[in-house]
Amino acid sequence: MDGSKFELDRVSLTKHAIILGATGSGKTVLSKVIVEEAALQGIPTFAIDPKGDIANLAFKSASFDFTKWSGKEADALKIN
């Protein structure tokens, strides 16, 4: 981006998304902004976060309803 303003409306935040880019291109910063804004608007978010950057954001905010799943809990994920 060239510094131009970029906006996503509430409807866009309820769709599936993936953020891809080169190292240092701002993927984590963009992800944090989107997840934080979604949480503030009460929009549920599911994030695959191998480095834990999004999880750390949630841990710092008492207002987020956050569940961490590490794959270690046998019953944490159930599929019908």
Q: What is the pLDDT along the chain (80 residues), one digit of tens a residue?
A: 577 887 877 777 777 888 899 999 988 888 888 888 887 888 888 777 777 787 777 666 666 666 666 666 554 444 43
**Within-domain flag for 24:** yes
**Within-domain flag for 7:** no
**Within-domain flag for 77:** no
How many separate domains does the chain show? 1
**Within-domain flag for 3:** no
Cα–Cα distance, 78 to 26 (Å, whole number): 33
Q: What pLDDT is attached to residue 23?
A: 92
Q: Which amino acid is at 34?
A: I
**Within-domain flag for 76:** no
Number of residues assigned to the chain: 80
**Within-domain flag for 72:** no
Residues 6+ apart with CB under 8 A from 14: 43
Domain that holds residue 49: 12-60
